[in-house]
Amino acid sequence: MIEVKGLKKSFGDLDILKGIDTTIEKNEKVVIIGPSGSGKSTFLRCLNMLEQPTDGSVIFDGKDLTKASEKELYKVREKMGMVFQHFYLFPHLTIQKNLTLAPTKLKIMSKDEADEKAHQLLQKIGLEQKAHDYPSQLSGGQKQRIAIARSLMMNPEVMLFDEPTSALDPEMVGEVLRLMKQLAEEGMTMVVVTHEMGFAREVGSRVLFMEDGLIMEENEPQEFFSNPESPRLKEFLSKVL
Amino acid sequence: MLLQNEASRSFDNEFLQKLYDTFIYDDRYMYLVNGLKTTLIITLFAVLLGMVIGFLVATVRATHDKTGKLKILNVIANIYLTVIRGTPVMVQLLIIYYVIFASVRIDKTFVGILAFGINSGAYVAEIVRSGIMSIDAGQFEAGASLGLNYPRTMMYIIMPQAFKNILPALANECIVLLKETSVAGYIALEDLTKGGDIIRSVTYEAFLPLIAVALIYLIIVVGLSSLVRKLERRLKKSDRG
């Protein structure tokens, strides 16, 4: 579904990604772990071209996104949902409007269709009573669940999660991870950058270890966590587990 | 005692006589009424023109800063801002009337609106730009990740938030503009200040008409300022809510 070839990204003299090659298949749940500054988030943001790669290609549904026109990119992003560490809900809009803004303004749904879908999604995540509240009235965990629902409104083919629980109070991490697990079970293709090793082990179908702008090691979670090969991964796991 | 009364009575009479001469005789107060009307008309339409110019210029500048596009428009916008903010409004007014429209018979009120509107636009532009820049970059990314292109993100997500943040500053700009229009008399526009000055020149009495003019400005400005404060309080409340 997404094919990444020789992906490089530099900011000035700073090389963040030094050549990433990987393929993300449909229904896969790829979890990316690694120390801060290893390029995990940059890699994720290159997948939907929020960062323009310096070199290499990202092929999504047969189209090279690094060569796509701006117009095509926006079309592609409708199909790639993204969830951010800091939620980025729209503070001036109610929860309902946060969900319906993009599909109605892009004329993908009528207002009624969008309202109906928003209602269903809010019910699914257990926040239908918040439909007419504003984001500032919600807890962090609720905000992140709303942000996930907002992405789901577009019926994405793949969801990108950029440290979705890192900004949350510990007691709110669980509710967000549960929702993500539910999505995984429903067959959503997911790419998740996280520090939640439990989630990686339980939900991931493949775990990538990134360090210094490269994928150092990848494996299915059982093997990844019990038999790490590279010394750097061993060291990393000994620190976080 | 009697003498004092006599003196004060004659003072009263003299004062009343002056009041009568200044405002009532020959319907001279109409200079102030018509002047005020002109001042308000110029201010109102100049504010509207300034807002339109300001929002356009700010959008060009912010788009250039964020995306690197609109290079030529950005250069034009910068020249406009430098020239307008680097020269006195009175000089601009004189140039527009005596140079640009030198050979055309044109309504002076229109010239006033044009001059003060173009002038105000430069200040509004910087206020709006600061408002746009104050919005978290994540809001742009959230919009983009949902497939909303830059103009849509700007219109539905950024501008409404920016506008709310800068509303008090914009209202203050209106107040400043109201006072600045007092130089309109230099192109023989009969605004409020000029109205007072005309009375002075026919009665040879400076104190009363000029103080009256000052009081009228003061009352309007104080009134508008208290409205701005009320607005600020309400905006703060909705931030907390």
- pLDDT reported for residue A199: 95
> Which residue blocks in B87-206 are alpha helix, DSSP H?
89-94, 108-133, 137-145, 150-153, 159-180, 192-203
Give me the residue from B148, B240, B241 closest to A102, CB to CB. Answer: B148
**Residue whose tokens read 């109102």:** B44
Predicted confidence (pLDDT) per residue in A213-235, tens digit: 999 999 999 999 999 999 999 99
In DSSP terms, A60 is beta-bridged to A2, A63
Residue contact B241–A90, C-beta within 8 A: no
Per the listing, tokens 């800068």 go with B166
How distant is the Cα of A196 from the closest Cα of chain B, in angstroms?
23
Q: Which of A20, A64, A58 is nearest to A38 (CA)?
A: A20
Do the Cβ atoms of A70 and B149 come within 8 Å? yes
If you measure CA to CA, which chain A residue comes closest to B157? A90
Query: pLDDT band at residue B241, thresholds of 50, 70 and 90?
Result: very low
Q: How far apart are CA A53 and CA A46, in angstroms?
A: 6
Give the residue ranges of chain A where pLDDT is below 70.
none
Output the pLDDT for position B239: 62
**Cα–Cα distance measured from residue A125 to residue B118, given in angstroms and rounded to the nearest whole number:** 51
Q: Do A74 and B147 touch (CB under 8 A)?
A: yes
Subunit contact A137:B241, Cβ cutoff 8 A: yes
Cross-chain Cβ contact B149/A91 below 8 Å: no
| AA letter at A52 | Q
Distance from CA of B59 to the nearest CA of A (A): 19
pLDDT confidence bin for B4, thresholds 50/70/90: low
Chain B hits for A89, CB-CB cut-off 8 Å, are: 142
**What does the alpha-carbon distance between residue A168 and residue A86 come to, in Å, rounded to a whole number?**
9
Cross-chain residue pair A90–B139, CB shorter than 8 Å: yes
pLDDT at position B15: 86
ipTM of the complex: 0.92
pTM for the complete prediction?
Answer: 0.84
Q: Which two tokens stand for residue B44?
A: 């109102």
Q: What is the pLDDT of residue A66?
A: 94
Is pLDDT at B2 greater than 60 in this prediction? Answer: no
pLDDT tier for residue B26 given thresholds of 50, 70 and 90? confident
Q: Which of B138, B148, B239 sits opposite A86 (nearest CB)?
A: B138
- A46 class by beta-carbon count within 10 Å (0-12 exposed, 13-18 middle, 19+ buried): buried
Question: Which pLDDT does position B11 carry in this prediction?
Answer: 75
Contact B38, B191 (CB under 8 A): yes
Rounded distance between C-alpha atoms, residue A78 and residue B155, angstroms: 18
Taken in order B71, B77, B78, B83, the sign of the CA dihedral is positive
The answer to whether the beta carbons of residues A32 and A40 sit under 8 Å apart is yes
- Pick the residue of B63, B145, B148 with the most A CBs within 10 A to test the interface with A by mutation: B145
The average pLDDT across B187-205 equals 93
Task: Give the model's pLDDT for residue B69.
Answer: 87
Q: Is the dihedral of CA B99, B103, B107, B110 positive or negative?
A: negative
Q: What 3-state class would DSSP assign to A180? A: helix
CB contacts < 8 Å between A and B, how many?
Answer: 65
